[in-house]
Amino acid sequence: MKRLLWNKHTRLMLKHLLGWSCIILGIIQGFLPFLQGWVFIILGVFLLADEVPLFGRIKAWLHRKFPKISNYAHRKGEQMKSKFHHESD
- Cβ proximity of 43 and 27 under 8 Å: no
**Residues 6-53: pLDDT tens digits?**
677 888 888 889 889 989 999 998 888 777 888 888 888 888 888 899
pLDDT in tens, 43-87: 888 888 888 999 999 889 988 998 888 888 778 778 877 776 655
| Boundaries of every domain in the chain | 8-84
56 alpha carbon, distance to own chain's centre: 11
CA dist 10 and 17 (Å) reads 11
Helix axes 8-30, 37-48, angle to 10 degrees: 160
